[in-house]
Structure 1
């Protein structure tokens, strides 16, 4: 009868390598979980606050869950504060600024990425430098310009300010996409008799749609959440946006935390849904131009 050989134990080095790999995976998952919790926790806390009663919000012991809950804050947002007006203002200003910004960004990026423009590196550096300026440093100059043009407390003045705010970000997102497209496309279009604008409209833009979508999403989110310029350049509810409207909820002697939390949820939830539904397109739009085709 032939004896069955005993299994050969794994080498100590192999066991240590598997343990190190398992430890790295566990640490990576723990780090990802911590980052997700850190990012989601403020929104979850606002969501819980929006359903809690005022007496629970003012109690010494915090209530982590809205038990018992109430919808009174959501009712008050749309009946006591005319919040729908702020929403309409934000939609008008943000959509207008994003559309104009995309148009200007496409024209500027096409010139910088596809045309023999001298000093394009310097131009990109200047655009990057302008995007790093804190908003507080441009409030006073912009205020003086808008005041001299009679555009304070208007959709036009605020939308124009938002165009300049999101334009550098859009240019840098689109630049990688425009650069990744083969130059043969421009040559073929020129042979067919297409001019620069026709080439941009019929050839470049359709192929760069992922980048355009990503730039539009990022510009929309930036403009939608902006507070400082809207606070400085608008003075009436007829033109104030959502962030300014929420800040105006509080009075001299009372801060309606529940109403402010409900309004924040109403404003944030559409952005969360957009990012969740289109996250793959946004990520693809940002990264697809990283490798030149």
Structure 2
């Protein structure tokens, strides 16, 4: 008699079919909104409101992209967002590298308490910090400047970047730093000449996260800058809507333009980001 073998539910749940289904769900969930925005940006307003709904543009047009730059100073929004995100990312990486190295290497008395505070701070909802941050920026005279956004963005990105880099620094053998210091490097010199280059995937990953957080942030950018020349992209996009109308094709075109820089950044550093996330997940 031939034995009939059947796959158990456990083997199915941990097998290739479920992984493929999960990957398909993630792909659709991640790609569908982006594709829908792209298709909408290529439609005319009449085609967008036509019934039954059309998924693909029948007569693609790039006029919406021209309007996105002519109706509002989109180039200025992009410049402001890029500069704020770049400055906050650089400051975040500098501070988080020093903080993570201290927590990973130095014999700190209250290390556990410090890590607990970092984790707790990272869970605070942004809306609860809005009023205190606004009062601090106002008292320092930083409102309506890039600094009013750079400093809060740095503070908000520091916890996750610091926690991520700690696991990378702990995996670097101390002998490498000791050898560098024997050759004449200071501890700071050994950090930036030996440790940081060896942790490049983690540093790039932390930098990408900090940049994207600053690029996408809306609430603080709306509250701290009322100067039209300092508006960032998320705040500027809301200006396309009228009092009684929403030009969705033009708004979608502006969104596509805003997505492109981040997409290019991720594509360029894709290998480093993936290796950084994978290594951080294994070591953490």
TM-score, normalized by the shorter chain, greater than 0.5: yes
Distance of 1:262 and 1:142 partners within structure 2: 33
Instruction: Report the Cα offset of residue 149 of structure 1.
Output: 1.1
Deviations 1:62-96 (A, max 9, x none): 22111112111100011121100000001110100
Q: Does 1:58 align with 2:60?
A: no
Instruction: Report the Cα offset of residue 143 of structure 1.
Output: 0.5
Correspondence for 2:233: 242
The answer on whether the counterparts of 2:71 and 2:240 sit within 8 Å (CA) in structure 1 is no
Correspondence for 1:159: 150
Whose radius of gyration is greater, 1 or 2? 1
Instruction: Report the Cα offset of residue 291 of structure 1.
Output: 5.6
Deviations 1:90-149 (A, max 9, x none): 111010000011000111111111111111121111111111111101011010111111
Correspondence for 1:225: 216
Q: Does 1:12 align with 2:12?
A: no
SS in 2 for 1:248: helix
Structure 1 gaps, min length 5: 1-8
Instruction: Report the Cα offset of residue 185 of structure 1.
Output: 2.2
The aligned length equals: 282
Task: Tell me the TM-score normalised to structure 1 length.
Answer: 0.89
Distance of 1:112 and 1:281 partners within structure 2: 24
CA 1:60–1:99 in structure 2 vs 1: closer, same or farther (change >3 Å)? same
Alignment of 1:67-216 (within 5 A): 67-216=58-207
Distance of 2:9 and 2:91 partners within structure 1: 55
The answer on whether the counterparts of 2:105 and 2:170 sit within 8 Å (CA) in structure 1 is yes
The equivalent position to 2:19 in structure 1, one of 21, 24, 28, is 28
Correspondence for 1:4: none
Backbone CA RMSD of aligned residues:
2.1
Deviations 1:15-53 (A, max 9, x none): x24999678433331222122101211111111110110
Distance of 1:270 and 1:69 partners within structure 2: 23
Instruction: Report the Cα offset of residue 235 of structure 1.
Output: 0.7
Task: Tell me the TM-score normalised to structure 2 length.
Answer: 0.92
